Structure formats: structure tokens, C-alpha cells
Amino acid sequence: MHDHHDHSHHDHGHGHDGHDHDGHDHGAELRAAPTRRLWVAFGLTAGFLGVEAVAGVLTHSLALLSDAVHMLTDAGALLLAVMAQRMATRPRTPRQTYGYRRAETLAAFVNGIALAGSSLWIVKEALSRWQSPPEIQGRALLGVAFVGLLVNLASAWVLSRGGEAQNANTRAALAHVVSDAAGSVAAMVAGGLIAWKGWRWSDPLVSVAISLLVLRSAWRLLAETAGVLMESAPAHIDVLAVEKTVRETPGVAGFHDLHVWALADTLAAATVHVVLAPGAHGVEVASRVAERLRAEHAIAHSTVQPEAPESPLVTLQRKAPPRA
């Protein structure tokens, strides 16, 4: 059981903060590679978008049109991701003291909304076509969907390279492209069934199936990015283990106001007030806690506020009710 104190009962001076960070962004070099990959994927996606849209109209295929809608969403999402990636490399300012790393997460959140919206539109359109599916050119549908699959696989391969530089932004773009590749497979299945079996209803049925899978991916993406935007503790960090680390650090008699969150999905942060043990040096304890948070929990940005133990008299005075 750790010592937990009411934050309002302490007068905190931050002249002795222990900071485990520096003034420049070490991630700028890593984010340059994802930006190039996003541009390549955008070029591939936007280049095939028009072809698939025209083919969808000519073949009367909802599967192709839905895939074209996905590719339109993909193109916009990839462009948004590039803009967010570039913004994230900008240095911090007196107003934006954390810099612009959250732009990546915000773009990923918007992309998740776009994924969900396009999926729901396809389901609605498929249900309206179920009763009387139009005449569809199955062989043309199959051929165009196959080319679209190749384009999507190429984009996915480009985006998935360089795992060390992955972030929520590139993962969101990759989710778009992978879902669109699945849409191309679904369109191929529908094209084959129509060409050889004459089952026109397979077009809206396959469209609904793939849209539900895309909707699931969108939900997971929204949940992940919403956690960052709401400053929840990162899923990969055990806060109870962090408490144990702080409590067992030499020189720490107790702590309170421990907060763990993420500036971006790849950059965890923490703040904590530690009560010093008798004879402990504040700067040394703060540095020790920060180093252990980095080494044991991969928390790269930490602020540790050391505080001297309070005497019982001071505690009673601070808890006394104010005079009328």
C-alpha cells in the first residue's frame, strides 16, 4: 500500500523536478521514413481510384463501387496521414510545449471515423440492392478487382516496412489499405460467382461481409487512439508495477499524484510526487526514480517532484478548517 496524500495539502515548488527528457525530438529521423512510405502508398491508391470507380459504374457492381469508396477514403486518409506526420516533426513552441506529436494520433482517430462511416454506407447500399440486384458483368468485375488487389497489396507492403518507425498514424493508414485489399478479394469472389453461377445477390452479400470486418478494424483503431486523446495509461504499461517501482526506489518514503499517459502512442510519460526518506537527497532520488521508470517501463518522459517529509504539526495546521 503506497502513501497517498491529498494534492491540495502540499505547497509544491518545482525547482527540483527530476526530468528524464531533453529539448529536442529524437523521433524526427524515425518519422521521415514513414512519411516517404505514406507518399508512395498515396500515389498507388490515388492512381487506381479513378479506374475502379469508372469500372464500378460500367459493370453496375456495388462491390467495385464500395471498394472505390474505400480507396477514396484511403487516399484522403493517406494524405491526412502525410500532413499529420509532417506536422509531428515540427519543433515545440512556447505555446505548444509538447510539440505536435498528438497530430499523429488525431489523424488516426479521424481515419477510424472515416473507416466506420464508409463501412456503414456500404451496408446501407447493399441492403437496398438485396431485393433486386442489377445486372452485373462478372468477368469485368473479377479482372478489375484483381488489379485493385495488386495495388492494395503493393501499398500495404510499402507501409508495413520498417517496423521500428511504426506509429498509430501509419498503422491507421495500413488498416485502410489492408481493409481495401480485403474488399478487392471480396469483389473477386463476387465476380467469380456472378460469372460462373449467375448469383447476382453475391455482390451485395460480399459487400456487407467485408464492411463488417472493416467496421471491426475501425472500432479497434478508434478505441486505441481515443485512449491516447483521453490521456489513459498506455495498454502496455502496468500502472501497479510502476507504483511498485517508485515505492521500492531507495530514498523514497512514499509518493502521491502518480499519473501515466502517452503524448503519442509511442511516447509514454509520467509525473509523480515522491516523499523523501530522512537524509535522502531530492535531486538524486528524482534522478533515480526517472532512470528506473525508463529502464523498467520504457517511460521516456518523466517528471519527478521530491518533497520533504512533513511534521505532524504542519499536517494538522494544513488540515485545520479555514477561519470564518
In the prediction, which pLDDT does 314 show? 39
Q: How far apart are CA 234 and CA 259, in angstroms?
A: 11
Q: Give the residue with greater pLDDT, 164 vs 298.
A: 298
Q: At a CB cut-off of 8 Å and minimum separation 6, what does 321 contact?
A: none
Q: How far apart are CA 88 and CA 139, in angstroms?
A: 45
Written as nine digits, the cell of 307 is 518533497
For the cut 80, the answer to whether the pLDDT of residue 249 exceeds it is yes
Mean pLDDT score of the chain, rounded to an integer?
A: 76
In the prediction, which pLDDT does 10 show? 41
Written as nine digits, the cell of 47 is 492512381
For the cut 60, the answer to whether the pLDDT of residue 31 exceeds it is no
In the prediction, which pLDDT does 169 show? 63
In the prediction, which pLDDT does 238 show? 92
Q: Is the pTM higher than 0.95?
A: no
Q: How would residue 305 be classed by pLDDT, with cut points 50, 70 and 90? A: very high
Measured N-to-C along each axis, helices 202-229 and 168-197 cross at an angle, to the nearest 10 degrees, of 170
Q: What is the average per-residue pLDDT within 54-75?
A: 74
CA distances from 272 to 19, 247, 255 (A): 11, 11, 7
The percentage of the chain sitting over the pLDDT mark of 70, rounded to a whole number, equals: 80
In the prediction, which pLDDT does 286 show? 93
Q: What is the average per-residue pLDDT within 102-109?
A: 78
Q: What pLDDT digit, counting tens, does each position of 206-248 carry?
A: 778 777 877 887 888 788 888 888 888 888 899 999 999 999 9
Highest averaged pLDDT of the listed ranges 198-207, 252-261, 303-312: 252-261
In the prediction, which pLDDT does 75 show? 76
For the cut 60, the answer to whether the pLDDT of residue 3 exceeds it is no
Identify residue 132 by its one-letter amino acid code: S
